[in-house]
Amino acid sequence: MPTTVPSSSPDSPPATLPAPSPTQPVAGRPVDTDAPAFDWTPVPDATRYRVQIAGTEAFEAVHYDETMDRGTAVSLGAVLPDEVATACWRVRAEGADEARSDWGEPARFSVPSAGLEDADGTVRVEAPPVPLHPTSDQDPPLDQSAVPFTWEAVPEATGYQLQVAPAETPEDPIVDLTVDQTTSVTLYDTLSGEGTSFHWRVRPLFRVAEPGPWSDSVPFAVAPPADDEEQTPEAEGPRASARIAGPATQARTSTTLSLAVSLLAVLSFIATIALIVFAG
């Protein structure tokens, strides 16, 4: 029996984590097995993920609602009713101290027994998406801990495939993921430690037909987060410079005072000796 789950609750705490993006299964494409693995982009500080599967994007009747790790397989035969041919799913990140994200955009897939006749007559546009961000003239370089990608949509596309490769080996991508009808993806902590120069490209996916053409490969650069770089007093601002200058000024003042006291002591000693000599 499906479970009725409201999409949001007025008493729910505000989202404090970024929302993950579904990566498989997506684009309304048929899954290859009765127990496909559900996966999504990772979210920093997330300790678990909540996954829901429903018959429609409204998620009024949820057939599956569980907390799991990434890449966990779900037996569709034990979850979905027999009459469901195309299902929707969504995911949100959860962490410590009730931290959580908003629900990610819903993704669609066809169950193995689904007929594909309704895909006949689909108009396919033989055009690649247009990459929008990042660009080759990106300045300053992007923060490698959170790199956003955006592109223009292709009509009738049901999803997209995104690849990111090092500039030295563009034919060997280190990121190869598929997403649903969204035209933007943010990769968190994925490019950290992988270098600083990359290329990315994207192509459209269709429900049954072969993928569309790739976009042009776009170079871009990343850099470590600013917080990781050693900052000089000038870079930290006037207030920081004042804090650093304070102890030095205080030290100079203390040294001057010590010299003055010492000089007074010497003069007093000389005056005492002079008085003794003249008195004798």
Which whole number is the average pLDDT over 79-101?
89
pLDDT value for 251 = 34
pLDDT value for 199 = 94
- Which one is predicted more confidently, 221 or 5? 221
Q: What distance in Å separates the CA atoms of residue 88 and residue 158, rounded to the nearest whole number? A: 13
pLDDT value for 94 = 93
Name the band, by pLDDT with cuts 50, 70 and 90, for residue 138.
confident
**pTM higher than 0.75, yes or no?**
no
List, in order, residues 6 or more apart from 218 with CB less than 8 Å away.
131, 134, 135, 136, 199, 200, 201
- Torsion region of 38: left, alpha or beta (phi above 0 gives left; psi -120 to 50 gives alpha): beta
Do residues 112 and 33 make contact, with C-beta atoms less than 8 angstroms apart?
yes
Name the band, by pLDDT with cuts 50, 70 and 90, for residue 20.
very high
Do residues 70 and 50 make contact, with C-beta atoms less than 8 angstroms apart?
no
Q: Is the dihedral of CA 153, 155, 158, 164 positive or negative?
A: negative
pLDDT value for 268 = 66
Instruction: Answer whether residue 64 shows pLDDT above 90.
Output: yes
Backbone angles phi, psi at 272, to 5 degrees: -65, -45
Element (H, E) at 252: helix 238-279
